[in-house]
Amino acid sequence: MRPVDEHILETMRDEGNLTPQAVENFDVCSRSHASVRLSKLAEYGLVSRIAQGLYRLTDEGRAFLNEELDAAELEPKTE
């Protein structure tokens, strides 16, 4: 987890499904950085990709924000 990751997750909780461009529009980070971080958050199951470039917060992401899940214990999901 990077410091920006929690900000991205909080923005998704507050605003709903987001694209990397929307993350940039909410002044979280640049679109390109958001794209990289969203891909990494999806790899660990905190967000899921629901369409090309569109992500949603998962139950695990909500649990992390509610301090019910320690991100250090997460492992990449394999498909």
Report pLDDT for 73. 84
Q: Has residue 12 got a pLDDT over 80? A: yes
Domain ranges of the chain: 3-70
CATH architecture of the domain 3-70 equals Orthogonal Bundle (1.10)
What value does the mean pLDDT take over residues 23-28?
A: 97
What value does the mean pLDDT take over residues 37-55?
A: 95
Mark out the alpha helices in 31-78 (DSSP H runs).
Answer: 31-43, 59-65
Report pLDDT for 78. 67
C-alpha closest to that of 19 among 55, 65, 70 = 55
C-beta atoms surrounding 60 within 10 Å? 19
Specify the length of the chain in residues.
79
Cα distance between residue 27 and residue 25, in whole Å: 5
Q: Which two tokens stand for residue 74?
A: 């997460």
